Chain A
Amino acid sequence: MKEPIIEARGVSKWYGAFQALKNINLTVAKGERIVICGPSGSGKSTLIRCFNRLESHQEGEIFVQGVRLHDKMENIAKVRTNIGMLFQDFNLFPHMTVLMNCMAGPMWVKGIAEQQAHETAMKFLERVKIPEQANKFPNQLSGGQQQRVAIARSLCMEPEIMLFDEPTSSLDPEMVSEVLETMTSLARDGMTMLCVTHEMGFARAVADRVIFMDFGEIIEQAPPNIFFEKPRFERTKLFLSQVLQH
């Protein structure tokens, strides 16, 4: 296996008395594409949000690029600039133009000159195929376009890892494919990706490994062909029969 870029060892997390994550062990290699699926409330979003420390964990250890994530760390911003994150409802900054959304991170966090930030932003807006929308505001765009801007915004920080938290769940059906296409092209370029999604077609086509979670535990993980053809556990089979029947 190649060098690990994310490592979780015995990670547990509670919201009050409710245990959201139970003893999670997961190693992600550089360049690996992982799809995490499972019923709602199974802890899949919580898990990937722990990897950029939007959530804290109470037990176990998480290492991202060798840096241990913990309560008292002072260089979390440095870790985060290396991890792009996509949200279900995009979370673009509505008071800035699309272009400014993409330039804000490089300029204000990395201290890159405006000229260069502009070039980078346009490069990635072209990459997600909406350079012509650069001067519009986010709410003038369709959901699919907004999510692609969000991808471009993350890419402008030139991260090594991308986390996707149900990026297509709040999109109209006809816009799902344009976002998935963009994600697929990212995968082809060797980006390390952790993707919480119900898009099983995407998982089959792109993932190196599919992880099934339920009740805060990793139930099953396998390469997609095995995961979909010969799932080992009843719960996985039941879940797959529910998401794949239509």
Chain B
Amino acid sequence: MLYSDTVETSKLVHKPWFAVVVFAVAFGLFFLLDLTGSMLGEIMRPVIGEPAQSGLYGRFAVAFVVAILFVLNVVLIGFLSLPAQVGVVWAELLILFLSFFYTFNLSFSFIAAKVPFMITQGVFTTLYVSAISIFIASAIAIVGAVAKLSNNGFAFAIASFYTSFFRGLPLLMQVYLIYLGLPQLGFIVGAVPAGVMALSLCYGAYMTEIFRAGIQSINRGQWEASRSMGFGFSLTMRRIILPQALPVIIPPTGNQFIAMLKDSSLVSVIGVWELMFLARTLGQKTFQHMEMLISAAMIYWILSICLELAQSRIERFFNKRTAR
């Protein structure tokens, strides 16, 4: 939450000048957009006559009505309680999006026929590729972070080279390099292992920095207290530093996981049958690309929402532990 002062000020959306400004902006925008050709023009037919021939008057009338509705909506939402405001705005935006998709004239029967396979094959593959990758990436990240913080020049050099290289290359290129490059060395790798390897290495590099920051956020005094009691390095790390660094590490790691879920779509280029691959291929035969892309987009979104919820749960757990 931003800092809100205890002195109450009247709501911005209820100030007359604000409503006027919103109205002016909305009206101008809709006037320029010329909505007479859209569904709104149809609805207004009784007033403006044949939409296509209504000319400047039609444009003006439609823009005026829509702008009025828009301002009214904003002002009315201003009266609701905070949770209700959030709910209403979410619902409105969702309806706008759905009506946007609706204009594509999607074949819902086709979607219904294909979605089960998208879930059993695509979502399953996406999830397990991401989960394995995030696990390996975390392991890499711990080692990388320790190496980057160590004063062993050799370890630091390797770790910094690694993070620089894998953060500096596009992930798509890494996927290609690993899938096509390793066989040159005589290692034939399947598409899934190659994809997992690319994702792990790339995200391991990012997460190395997250873990490093987490470890560095722990007060030096914790190290001193621990070492002065005779704890060795690894004992201090495992029992004292990492447990305290986790609350710092977990939220950005959750972000990384969500990002990885979506970046795993890049491994579709090497033929892994995950969600993105299926979205591109299932509709190809009948040229129903839009159906599949939108369904996959929705599935990605739903998965991300689930992960966001899980992440906020975990954060709350750690906050509770430290807030004592």
Contacts and interface: CB of A to CB of B under 8 A. Distances in A.
Interface of A: 52, 54, 77-78, 80-81, 83, 85, 87, 89, 91-95, 104-105, 108-109, 137, 139-140, 153-154, 157
Contacts of B322: 94-95
B14 interface: no
Given A91-B219, A93-B240, 20 more contacts: A52-B228, A77-B230, A77-B231, A78-B230, A80-B228, A80-B230, A81-B230, A85-B225, A85-B229, A87-B221, A91-B222, A94-B244, A104-B229, A105-B230, A108-B239, A109-B229, A109-B230, A109-B235, A140-B324, A157-B230
Interface residues of B, number: 20
Nearest to A108: B235
25 contacts: A54-B224, A77-B230, A80-B227, A80-B228, A81-B230, A85-B224, A85-B225, A85-B228, A85-B229, A87-B221, A87-B224, A87-B225, A92-B225, A93-B226, A94-B322, A95-B244, A95-B321, A104-B239, A105-B229, A109-B229, A109-B230, A137-B324, A139-B324, A154-B229, A157-B230
Contact of A89 (B221, B229, B324): B221
- By secondary structure, the B interface counts as helix
A84 to B, nearest CB: 8
Nearest to B321: A95
A93 B225 contact: yes
B221 to A, nearest CB: 4
Interface in B216-252: 219, 221-222, 224-232, 235, 239-240, 243-244
A108 B235 CA distance: 8
Contact of A91 (B221, B230, B235, B239): B221
B229 A91 contact: no
Contacts of A94: 244, 322
Contacts of B231: 77, 105, 108-109
Contacts of A140: 324
B228 A54 contact: yes
A96 to B, nearest CB: 8
Question: Which of the listed residues A81, A85, A91, A109 has the most CB atoms from chain B within 10 Å of its own CB?
Answer: A91
A215 B266 CA distance: 63
A54 B324 contact: no
Contacts of A109: 229-231, 235
A87 B225 CA distance: 8
Interface string B125-158: 0000000000000000000000000000000000
A83 B240 contact: no
A79 B239 CA distance: 21
Contacts of A139: 324
A140 B243 CA distance: 19
Contacts of B232: 77
B229 A81 contact: yes
A54 B230 CA distance: 11
Nearest to B243: A95
Nearest to A88: B221
Contacts of B229: 80-81, 85, 104-105, 109, 153-154, 157
Nearest to B219: A91
A81 to B, nearest CB: 4
Interface in B185-204: none
Contacts of A52: 228
A54 B228 CA distance: 7
Interface string B290-324: 00000000000000000000000000000001101
Interface string B243-285: 1100000000000000000000000000000000000000000
A105 B226 CA distance: 9
Contacts of B235: 108-109
Of B219, B231, B322, which is in contact with the most chain A CB atoms at under 10 Å from its CB?
Answer: B231
A85 B224 CA distance: 9
A137 B243 CA distance: 15
A72 to B, nearest CB: 15
Contacts of A91: 219, 221-222, 224-225
Nearest to A136: B324
Nearest to B229: A105
B228 A83 contact: yes
Contacts of B219: 91
B317 to A, nearest CB: 13
Nearest to B235: A108
B323 to A, nearest CB: 9
B243 to A, nearest CB: 5
A108 B324 CA distance: 25
A98 to B, nearest CB: 12
A115 to B, nearest CB: 20
Nearest to A54: B224
